[in-house]
Amino acid sequence: MGAAGPPAPQARRRGHQGDRARTPGGSGFGGTARHAVRARAALRPRTTVRPRAALRARPAVRARAGPAGLPLATGNRNPVRLFVPQPRRRDVADIGAGRRPVVAVLDTGIGEHPWLPVGDPADDPVVEIAPDFQQLLADSEAALAAASGHQPGPSLASPNDQRDVVQPLLGLTDSHSGHGTFVTGLVHQNCPDARILSLRVLHTDGVTTDRIVLLALEWLRLRVQAALDNGTPEDLVDVVSLSLGFYPEADDTQTGFLLAEAVRKLTDLGVTVVAAAGNDATARPFVPAAHALNADGSNNGNKLLVAVGALNASGKTVAAFSNEGDWVTRWAPGNALVSTVPLWQGSGQGVLELENGGYTRSGPDGDDLTTGFAVWAGTSFATPVIAGLLAERLADRPDPTDPTDRPQRAADALAEVDAHLTTLGWKR
């Protein structure tokens, strides 16, 4: 979708949802730009009419009152102080697979945090970025905007989580800023031995396009295939964490088909794709997660595509906001989770602030993330929990000598995770 350039970036990315465009040449990979995919960090009151073609990912939930004023979720990127040590990583030499499992996180990027150092894979960082992918994506978006006659919107060339893009003159932290850093921290907590490949595909208001997501999935497929062809296991990807999706319109079968095929190409290479089920308390299929089951329910449509619903913090009950249905194949806590956020200070302040004897007395400041941790809620955050548990099981499973055995390696790890979920009482 081309950017029209109105004052509000959110409106900019929604303004031309009827346009269709192919990915500019070079990659041989095309997709439509008809839809906007929203990674929602919140359940929000439905006070506006949404464009019928809009695609939105609903990874996180804004605390909102449900019927009779009942709260549906706990946590809306609320800063917290955490007194625990950083998860301990083993040396690569002590990992059974002989390498770190790699989890690709497609989200808002990665922010500065002491738990999540970014670097070259040769230096064994926690987080790897892909400048070549980000530049490919930025060039593609710019070319599409030029071809459509629209002004390009904010660039995705930087891999970094951004703070105040939507209304920069106010300095307030955008609704989905820090979302990718939060997801990355949850993978790290559940599998400290993993290396996390951060691909920035979402803007700070949670919007992207199906074409961008398709481009990212194809880029990952090419990376994995090249690693297999060239015998470079350090470049393999084991798990993809997708905290985004959309509800297909009745007259649009192409977008869902393209996403299903892109996911299938990855799972055929032994990459497990973990996707959020959505936060609208509905059984309506949320794609790509819903592709885990065939539309007619006849079988598991793709056994290495894992659709994740959210439980409450105890793991004993389903979170009120979570979608569900036969297509939701795994469950994990997604309400009131604590994870990493960038070390940011926005312009917002507490609702109460008084100067008293040389010090300041204040209410909580939701725009002060300098503690580096926050509490948030959504199926978006249940998703990296499962992704991390999978990576943990893959860490000690050596790569098969025959690449065609990689799907079985992934399936065996998923079976181990299922047994663990049963033990925890999270299996539904």
Tell whether the model's pLDDT for residue 377 goes beyond 90: yes
Q: Which residue has the tokens 């070390």?
A: 343
Which residue in the list 148, 241, 243, 380 is annotated as catalytic? 380
Mean pLDDT across 100-119 = 98
Residues 6+ apart with CB under 8 A from 150: 2, 3, 4, 5, 16
- The answer to whether the CB of 307 falls within 8 A of the CB of 272 is no
Which residue in the list 16, 107, 161, 339 is annotated as catalytic? 107
Tell me the three state secondary structure of residue 272: strand
Q: Could you tell me if residue 124 is left (phi over 0), alpha (psi between -120 and 50 degrees) or otherwise beta?
A: left
Domains of the chain, each with CATH number or no CATH: 9-38+52-424 (3.40.50.200)
Confidence of residue 108 (pLDDT cuts 50, 70, 90): very high
CA-CA distances (angstroms) from residue 322 to 46, 247, 278, 309, 425?
17, 14, 6, 6, 17
Cα(234)–Cα(283) distance, rounded to whole angstroms?
39
pLDDT tens per residue, range 387-426 = 999 999 999 999 999 999 999 999 999 999 999 999 999 9
pLDDT tens per residue, range 39-89 = 543 333 333 323 333 344 444 454 444 555 667 889 999 999 999 999 999
- The answer to whether the CB of 196 falls within 8 A of the CB of 396 is no
Annotation marks residue 420 as catalytic: no
- CB atoms under 10 Å from CB of 408, counted, come to 12
Annotation marks residue 405 as catalytic: no
Cα(109)–Cα(258) distance, rounded to whole angstroms?
24
Annotation marks residue 280 as catalytic: no
Which residue in the list 16, 179, 188, 203 is annotated as catalytic? 179
Note the maximum CA span of the chain. 71
Q: How far apart are the two ends of the chain, measured CA to CA in Å?
A: 38
Mean pLDDT across 189-206 = 96
In 188-236, the DSSP E strands lie at 195-200, 207-209
pLDDT tens per residue, range 258-290 = 999 999 999 999 999 999 999 999 999 999 999
pTM of the predicted structure, to 2 decimals: 0.85
